A = this chain, B = another copy of it.
Amino acid sequence: MPSVEQVCRTDSGLAASLRVSVARLHRRLRMEHADDVGVSFGAAAVLALLRREGDQTIGQLAAAERVRPPSMTRTVSCLEDDGLVARHPHPTDGRQVVISLTEQGEELLAAERRRRDAWLARRLRELTPDERAALRQAAPILERLSFS
């Protein structure tokens, strides 16, 4: 029974290991998130993106989250129903719709931010400093891997 470390020595082994780890960790994070009040996992990501990058069109949000436009329309509609984002007409292009965080959205984001990351942050604190450093190096690479 080969260990994770051994499997990772080859590129295809590393690929296989990352694929499985990412899938499991994703499911786990979703589960932890379910305990939170308010918005869903995907919707929270959109709020965070709006906070980081400012106003975005539906298309931009969809591209950033690696999702098709209809999926993003649905997510944004949910957020709008909850009063967390607002739709505005695009200043020069009547086809596009600009989405912005409402004040209520900002508040929810600020209030829930610590709680949303609580589980993972706690798990991270249980790691050794070296392990955290390893993840710190890996995070931006993982970030880039999902873009072609």
Besides the contacts A4-B139, A127-B141, what 13 more A-B pairs have beta carbons closer than 8 Å?
A12-B113, A14-B121, A15-B124, A17-B143, A20-B45, A22-B142, A23-B26, A23-B29, A23-B41, A27-B146, A28-B145, A134-B134, A137-B137
Residue of B nearest to A133 (CB): B137
Task: Please give the count of copies of this chain that the complex contains.
Answer: 2
Whether B22 and A29, one on each chain, are in contact in the complex, defined by CB atoms closer than 8 angstroms, is yes
Nearest CB of B to A148, in Å: 8
**Which of A41, A121, A132 counts the most chain B CB atoms within 10 A?**
A121
One digit per residue, 1 when the CB lies within 8 angstroms of any chain B CB and 0 when it does not, for chain A 26-55 equals: 111101000000000110010010001100
Q: How far, in whole Å, are A21 and B142 apart by their CA atoms in the complex?
A: 6
One digit per residue, 1 when the CB lies within 8 angstroms of any chain B CB and 0 when it does not, for chain A 112-137 equals: 01101100110111010001101111
A-B contact pairs, 15 of them (CB 8 A): A4-B140, A8-B139, A14-B135, A15-B117, A15-B124, A17-B143, A18-B142, A19-B117, A23-B41, A23-B42, A24-B66, A25-B142, A27-B67, A28-B146, A134-B138
